Amino acid sequence: MERSRSDVLIMGGGVIGLSCALYLLKAGASVRVLEQDTPGSGSSHGNCGTITPSHAGPLTMPGMVGTALRSMLRKDAPLYVNPRPDPERARWLLGFARHCTWRDYQLAGEARGAILARSRSLIGELVASDELDCEFEDVGELYVYRDERTLQRDRPHVELLHRLGMEVRVLLGDDVLALEPALREGVVGGLLHPGDARLRPDRYVAELARRVRELGGAIETGARVDSFVTDGARITHVRTTGGVFSGERVVMALGAWSPLVSKLLDIRLPMQPGKGYSLTWTQPPVNAPTHSLVLREAAVCVTPWTSGYRLGSTMEFSGFAEGLNDVRLQALRRGAAAYLHEPEGQGEVTPWWGWRPMSVDELPIIGPSARWSNLVYATAHGMLGISMSAATGELVASLLAGPAPTLDAAPYTPARFAL
């Protein structure tokens, strides 16, 4: 049977869908969220929990294609492209390669920087105003280098942040070790990003879900989208495993599942799932680092919380292949061990994997569909779903319920792909 109708029906109960729901509720709309599992059970759960305006620079930069091709020979490479034939992934990689120019790097960096900076401000405000208990800390993030060549190759990253007006401090090796005694000798330099922050992502998503319900929003769990009922260019009903639902507007916030569900609407989103991994301990090590760390050569992110400790990252393009890959989990352990005196936490350890929604141009897809009159996209946030979540929610709420958006929506429009 059809459930009660909402002003806005949001497909996806991860950090993006819940952020959209929260800002829409605050704008006065009635909202229902459809989640195939439980809120935040996808990539919103096991990511590193860093809020990083510093990650404005996209993966699309000259030289990345060669790195990706060489990675096919190493299953433990930080960036791994599975050589198994896959026509859709091959098309995506060709499109990605076309964006690996300095011009596109700068344009994408500016657009990513804008949404990241806005979201960083909003998340801090939201945690305070809505009393979100999620271990939010303004501690900054530190990139750590053990190879001078890698540090020099990151000069475009530093130059981009300077152009965007973001603070980044270039440190000598001894300064890095003085700042973080948890690091082993052999550090040649570092980049400190004081404007970054961190939180516990599973708790943040749980708190967003709590606030959505408190403000009158409905969250339907166990509601996997199976099909759509349409009338002309309009979506009238969404059929799920948990019932049939309808809304004046429908928001697609399905993360990595967006391209699969979009095919039911005869839409091909230029996205691929980028598989990430993490290891989480119930307690941090005795001498845990103070800052969140990015161990650059190993491409490992280290996030210490009061309630736990996480090693994460890696990027694997293997389509929608499920399950843990122990080779890549061991790479996280080895990478951390090369940099830290105590690379692992204490207590029980939980391995995790999840798919990141990677767009072909490294920009999110946010805005109204040209194909369906009442469909709005809020997807393709790549590795930055947490970081971009609040600004995405604010932007979607502005587009659907007003007032005019604070953030310029043009760089993220689906129209760039004629969607």
Conformation bin of residue 135: beta by default, left when phi > 0, alpha when psi is -120 to 50 = left
- At residue 64, the pLDDT reads 86
Six-digit token pair at 261? 């569900």
Distances (CA, A) of 304 to 142, 166, 169, 336, 395: 13, 24, 21, 13, 31
- At residue 231, the pLDDT reads 97
87-98 vs 64-71: helix axis angle to the nearest 10?
150
Neighbours of 62 (CB within 10 A): 12
State whether residue 273 is helix, strand or coil: strand
Write out the H or E segment, with its range, that includes residue 68.
helix 64-71
**Torsion angle of alpha carbons 310, 315, 317, 319, nearest 10°?**
30
pLDDT, tens only, 33-89: 999 999 988 888 889 999 999 999 999 999 887 887 777 777 888 888 888 889 999
pLDDT, tens only, 63-74: 887 887 777 777
Rounded average pLDDT over 362-374: 97
Give CA–CA dist 274/146, Å, rounded. 26
Give CA–CA dist 105/60, Å, rounded. 6
Q: What is the pTM for the complete model shown? A: 0.96
- Strands across the sheet containing 365-368: 218-220, 31-34, 6-11, 247-252, 375-379, 365-368
Six-digit token pair at 43? 């990539």
Half-sphere exposure of 379 (CA within 13 A, CB side): 35
The pLDDT-based confidence of 404 (bands split at 50, 70, 90) is confident
Task: Evaluate the CA torsion angle 37, 39, 43, 47 in order and state its sign.
Answer: negative
| pLDDT value at 3 more than 70 | no
Mean pLDDT of all residues in the chain?
Answer: 95
15-26 vs 201-214: helix axis angle to the nearest 10?
30
- Strands across the sheet containing 243-245: 225-231, 234-240, 243-245
In the chain the first and final C-alpha atoms are separated, in Å, by 31
What is the CATH architecture assignment of 6-417?
3-Layer(bba) Sandwich (3.50)
pLDDT, tens only, 140-190: 999 999 999 999 999 999 999 999 999 999 999 999 999 999 999 999 999
| pLDDT value at 406 more than 50 | yes
Rounded average pLDDT over 231-247: 96
State whether residue 287 is helix, strand or coil: coil
Conformation bin of residue 284: beta by default, left when phi > 0, alpha when psi is -120 to 50 = beta
Cβ distance 153 to 230 under 8 Å? no
Give CA–CA dist 378/255, Å, rounded. 8
pLDDT, tens only, 329-344: 999 999 999 999 999 9
Q: Between β-strands 141-145 and 292-295, what pairing exists: parallel, antiparallel or unpaired?
A: parallel
Rounded average pLDDT over 107-133: 98
Amino acid at 41: S
The pLDDT-based confidence of 352 (bands split at 50, 70, 90) is very high
| pLDDT value at 2 more than 60 | no
| pLDDT value at 1 more than 70 | no
| pLDDT-above-70 percentage for the chain | 99
| pLDDT value at 345 more than 60 | yes
Give CA–CA dist 352/311, Å, rounded. 10
> What DSSP letter does each residue of 160-206 carry, written as one string?
HHHHTT---EEEEHHHHHHH-TTBPS---EEEEETT-EE--HHHHHH
Write out the H or E segment, with its range, that includes residue 390.
helix 385-401
Rounded average pLDDT over 264-273: 97
- At residue 396, the pLDDT reads 98
Give CA–CA dist 157/45, Å, rounded. 28
Give CA–CA dist 49/197, Å, rounded. 9
